[in-house]
Amino acid sequence: MNFTDQLARAERLHDSLLCVGLDPEPSKFPGAWKGDAARIFDFCARIVDATKDVVVAFKPQIAYFAAHRAEDQLERLMAHIKRVAPDVPVILDAKRGDIGSTAEQYAREAFERYQADAVTLSPFMGFDSIEPYLRHPDKGAILLCRTSNPGGNDWQMQRLADLPGQPRLYEHLAALAQSEWNRNGQIGLVVGATYPAEIARVRELAPTLPLLIPGVGAQGGDAVATVQAGLARDAAGAITGPIVVNSSRAILYASQGDEFAEAARRVALATRATLNAARQP
């Protein structure tokens, strides 16, 4: 079962488009755990246990673990997710971008060490920086396309004078990802929730690819506009292009009290309901 199929199964089982981002910041941990990096696994595992039946994916951000020398806790967390939520795919948010043997090692890190189902990548160095990840059957490669940060305009919105129609860089990438780069159906795209018009344009150019959409919640992205711009449907109204809408801080830090996991579940349920209401045809 490839990554897109995994997403479709999780979406059906949990009636959800919501991805919970696991970005542990010990300074924001509740109660006696506050500031204790040794509790990163404990905190994230509680969040996973509280939300595992209402999500379409989990997305741990590797920097939040590596900065605290907590890679071993990330390994434990990935194994925990596989054990308690085997139907929920895990996206390792690493944004790797290199070529040759270095890319091969990054792919091994994501898919063999951490057992991720997909990994986020920067495509700035071209297809040969993506190809090593595609050698891992059924794993997903999710490419940065139109990101939610304001600085994304510096490159992603520039026009390519050498190409017919002078598409913007993000448009050209979306078209490549939908066509010649997507040799085995493994590629997805990252498109920020803060730019719904660009989400719609990416969906037009890449009608079948999974879209990972961060920026809902603390970053201010509009959940309803995001869903309506990102979903693709066939003539019968069936969804043909899946979306994965990520929320991190709004869920993780819904409460500073001992009931933080219960509060995270309440926010996750409310976010799922908002997303589901928006996807009605």
Q: Which residues are catalytic?
A: 95
Helices (H) and strands (E) in the chain, counts: 12, 10
Residue 67 backbone class (left: φ over 0; alpha: ψ -120 to 50; beta: rest): alpha
Nearest to 6 by CA among 96, 86, 94, 98: 86
Taking the C-alpha atoms of residue 168 and residue 178, their distance in angstroms, rounded to an integer, is: 16
Alpha helices in 127-236 (DSSP H): 131-134, 153-156, 169-178, 196-205, 223-230
Whole-angstrom distance, CA of residue 175 vs CA of residue 277:
29
- Taking CA atoms, 52 is separated from 24, 33, 87, 239, 250, in Å, by 17, 22, 9, 23, 16
Cα–Cα nearest to 120, from 19, 37, 12: 19
Distance CA 125, CA 135 (A): 18
Using the Cα atoms of residue 112, residue 137, residue 156 and residue 169 in order, give the sign of their dihedral.
positive
Sheet of 243-247: strand order equals 57-60, 18-22, 243-247, 211-213, 187-191, 140-146, 118-121, 91-96
C-alpha span between 237 and 22 (Å, rounded): 33
Tokens of 107: 């792919």
